[in-house]
């Protein structure tokens, strides 16, 4: 499997104590971005206590084999047609939020984590 069409990820195999090595290195196909999504290459990712709770099984996960990490610095690889707010090579930060509305009073003041959307 070549480096160009696969990526490495540390997946939670079976949640449990760190002594039992609950993380496993996986090689996954590079995902296909959706029509409104960027494809990014992760350059660095913080690991916080929430991730450790997931790895150790203290927090239920939404799907098996989750890849911990939600404080990401990345480089843009592809930009969907028609978008001019990002360019290939841009450095971007990605938080744990999947989506916010961008227009509510919380979003407008930089408190997107409180967005009701």
> Looking at beta carbons only, is 86 or 106 nearer to Zn ion?
106
Report, in Å, the least distance between residue 47 CB and Zn ion: 8
Number of Cβ within a 10 Å radius of residue 88:
11
> Looking at beta carbons only, is 22 or 68 nearer to Zn ion?
68
> Looking at beta carbons only, is 30 or 46 nearer to Zn ion?
46
Residue 50 sits in the site that holds Zn ion (CB under 5 A): yes
Instruction: Say how far apart CA 40 and CA 76 lie, in whole Å.
Output: 4
Instruction: Say how far apart CA 30 and CA 10 lie, in whole Å.
Output: 14
Q: Are 55 and 15 in contact (CB under 8 A)?
A: yes
Site for Zn ion in 64-103 (CB under 5 A): 100-101
């Amino acid at each position: 499997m070549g480096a160009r069409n696969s990526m490495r990820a540390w997946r939670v195999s079976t949640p449990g104590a760190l002594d039992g090595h609950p993380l496993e290195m996986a090689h996954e196909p590079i995902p296909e971005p959706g029509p409104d999504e960027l494809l990014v290459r992760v350059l660095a990712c913080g690991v916080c206590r929430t991730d450790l709770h997931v790895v150790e099984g203290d927090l239920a996960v939404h799907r098996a084999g989750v890849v911990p990490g939600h404080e990401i610095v990345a480089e843009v690889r592809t930009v969907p047609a028609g978008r001019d707010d990002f360019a290939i090579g841009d450095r971007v930060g990605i938080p744990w939020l999947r989506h916010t509305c961008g227009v509510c009073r919380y979003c407008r003041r930089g408190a997107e984590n409180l967005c009701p959307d």
